[in-house]
Structure 1
Amino acid sequence: MSEPIRTAETAAPTDAVPTGTAPGADLLARTADAVRAAGAVLRERFGDVVPHRTRAELMDALAANDAAVLEVLRPALARLRPDARFVADELAGGALPPGEWWVVDPAEGNVNHLHALPDWAVTATLVRDNRPVLTAVHLPLTGETYTALTGAGAHLDGRPLKVSRTTDLGLSLVATSQARPDEDEEVVRRTGSAITAMLLDALVVRTSVPATLHLLNVAAGRIDAFWQFAGARADLLPGALLVTEAGGQVSDAEGRPWTPESDSFLAAAPGVHAPAVTTLSR
């Protein structure tokens, strides 16, 4: 079983990235350069709604976006950490084997991209023994790049990020996301019940994909809490590091330590974490 994600208070020091190649901050900067270069490819492919009449045509269009981005992103990351293995299945969940892995989502929010909606990104997260070490998330349409390094904080284009100071769930903007298409019926019903509970307890509930963009907003203090049932590594690991490094709390929906094997996820400002757990645990 993998170990829980560390909070900001117990994070590893900034030299957590092993020596032998680039130091932590330099490696993060180069990772950000890689996702920006890959994001330019995805930006060039953005335009009108991509027509599809069948599920197979939709899947082909999604795969074409992924392949175009990975052609740039994968070799760039391999040059940075030649010994790190690579996983680009954005729907895969659970723990990874020990060691270093690049967990990437070449087109986070890919379905939005194909529908000419603006909510999509390119992400790359270096994970060691199932703990995120650093992450870079690039939004090609705005040019923004969000980064986090264990023990060194979370940033938007170099500016520090801090979670919300709110202490009242009743005044909070909260969000959730659909983990994957064709989700298990039990998860779908659990999600619906949680949305209903949050509609009663929170001020406003946002529901949209992808998860990473909600988590960026939690880290930046724009959204007070985000939760999701089930989930994929590529959805949650970047945001988990960004939120904890911005001073937030990450757990499962019942308040227990979160790992990639958990069946739920909650990221929140400290002042509303406990009330959110209470709401989601009904």
Structure 2
Amino acid sequence: MNDADARRLLAVAKTATSAASELVRSRPPRTLTWKGDRDVTSDVDMSVENLIRNYLHRHTPGAGFLGEEEGGSNLGDGSYWILDPIDGTINFLHGLPLCAISLSLVHNGVAVVAVIDLPFLSAQYSALKDHGSFVNDVQLAVSSTHSLDAALISVDQYTFGEHEHKNRLRHTLAERLAAHAQRIRMLGTSAIDLAWTAQGRLDACVLLGNKPWDTSAGVLIAQEAGARLLDLDGTDHSTDSVATIAVTPPLEDALMAVIREAVTATAVSG
């Protein structure tokens, strides 16, 4: 994929997510569908996914598509889009403005285009691989924080059902980080965790999962802003990682030391 093609596809992604954000702002949710234990989607999630899927099919007919709500087709070694129509649905349903539309394009197994649009905060984050990341066309850079006691760190939300076992590690991790970091936060949306780490609003985020619609766009945006992206064991992040950790480089060693302590303590207590 050449530079001109990538920039055209970024423009397509920006237009699609902007239209979807307008839909989110203008349409209150009316119908809820339960997907599992305390896990719900809304008719607005579905409408956003349909809107973006149809737009992308018209403008990039050769690309596949994977959406959180209805799955995907034409996935493989070529190019395909990954969408979370509303990351932070529970926040959205409760009237909290922390939700996002998260869209990325994967080419030959690597995310090359990313857009995260925050409908209620007038912010659109974007990135092209090897060309930096931006919010509303202002280039992003991670923070320069050098010590954990000055760091603001987010941890992803507690989960239910088949992933509930990870909550013990979340609890231990939050406890250990609270003893070292300036403050910890739980925002309820992985896309914003990663985008705000890229912007330097957060110094790190620790997500104990790696579903592609949750992390694909945010990982590219954070990487292009200079963040280190890691798995739970400290190795470089990949699509096969079990966790997604983004951190400003000066804090990597200190943060990973706390995470290792939490993992060990959880294993011993279990």
Structure-1-length-normalised TM-score? 0.83
Output the CA distance in 2 between the equivalents of 1:45 and 1:59. 23
What secondary structure is seen at the aligned counterpart in 2 of 1:175? strand
- Residues 117-136 of structure 1: pairs in structure 2 closer than 5 A: 117-136=96-115
Say what the alpha-carbon RMSD is for the aligned residues: 2.6
What secondary structure is seen at the aligned counterpart in 2 of 1:73? helix
Structure-2-length-normalised TM-score? 0.87
- Residues 85-164 of structure 1: pairs in structure 2 closer than 5 A: 85-89=64-68, 97-164=76-143
Q: Would you say the 8 A contact 2:46–2:69 is kept in 1?
A: no
Q: Sequence identity of aligned pairs in percent?
A: 27
Output the CA distance in 1 between the equivalents of 2:194 and 2:127. 12
Output the CA distance in 1 between the equivalents of 2:51 and 2:35. 25
Letter aligned with residue 18 of structure 2: R
Say if 1:59 and 1:263 are closer, same or farther in 2 by CA, change over 3 A: closer
Residue 90 of structure 1 and its aligned partner are, at CA, apart by 6.1
Say if 1:219 and 1:255 are closer, same or farther in 2 by CA, change over 3 A: same
Q: Would you say the 8 A contact 1:87–1:103 is kept in 2?
A: yes
What secondary structure is seen at the aligned counterpart in 2 of 1:255? coil
Residue 243 of structure 1 and its aligned partner are, at CA, apart by 0.8
Letter aligned with residue 216 of structure 1: A
Output the CA distance in 1 between the equivalents of 2:68 and 2:36. 19
Output the CA distance in 1 between the equivalents of 2:158 and 2:137. 30
| Partner residue, 2:53 | 74
Q: Would you say the 8 A contact 1:179–1:232 is kept in 2?
A: no
Output the CA distance in 1 between the equivalents of 2:70 and 2:174. 22
Q: Would you say the 8 A contact 1:125–1:133 is kept in 2?
A: yes
| Partner residue, 2:149 | 170
- Spell out, residue by residue over 1:13-47, the C-alpha distance to the aligned partner (whole angstroms, 9 max, x if none): xxxx358xx62223212210110011111111248
What secondary structure is seen at the aligned counterpart in 2 of 1:62? strand
Say if 1:46 and 1:149 are closer, same or farther in 2 by CA, change over 3 A: same
Of residues 224, 230, 250 in structure 2, which corresponds to 1:245?
Answer: 224
Residue 72 of structure 1 and its aligned partner are, at CA, apart by 1.7
Output the CA distance in 1 between the equivalents of 2:70 and 2:246. 20
Of residues 182, 187, 196 in structure 1, which corresponds to 2:175?
Answer: 196
| Partner residue, 1:33 | 15
Whose strand proportion is higher, 1 or 2? 2
- Spell out, residue by residue over 1:41-85, the C-alpha distance to the aligned partner (whole angstroms, 9 max, x if none): 1111248xx797x95799897241222112321121123322211
Q: Would you say the 8 A contact 1:42–1:68 is kept in 2?
A: no
Say if 1:233 and 1:56 are closer, same or farther in 2 by CA, change over 3 A: closer
Q: Would you say the 8 A contact 2:88–2:99 is kept in 1?
A: yes
Q: Would you say the 8 A contact 1:91–1:180 is kept in 2?
A: no
Letter aligned with residue 255 of structure 1: G
Output the CA distance in 1 between the equivalents of 2:113 and 2:80. 11
What secondary structure is seen at the aligned counterpart in 1 of 2:86? strand
Output the CA distance in 2 between the equivalents of 1:89 and 1:154. 24
Output the CA distance in 2 between the equivalents of 1:45 and 1:168. 43
Q: Would you say the 8 A contact 1:179–1:228 is kept in 2?
A: no
Residue 138 of structure 1 and its aligned partner are, at CA, apart by 1.0
Residue 137 of structure 1 and its aligned partner are, at CA, apart by 1.1
Say if 1:190 and 1:90 are closer, same or farther in 2 by CA, change over 3 A: farther
2:258 aligned with 1:276: no
Please list every run of 5 or more consecutive structure 2 residues that lacks an aligned counterpart in the other structure: 262-270
Size of the alignment, in residue pairs? Answer: 258
Q: Would you say the 8 A contact 1:46–1:113 is kept in 2?
A: no
Letter aligned with residue 145 of structure 2: T
What secondary structure is seen at the aligned counterpart in 2 of 1:227? strand
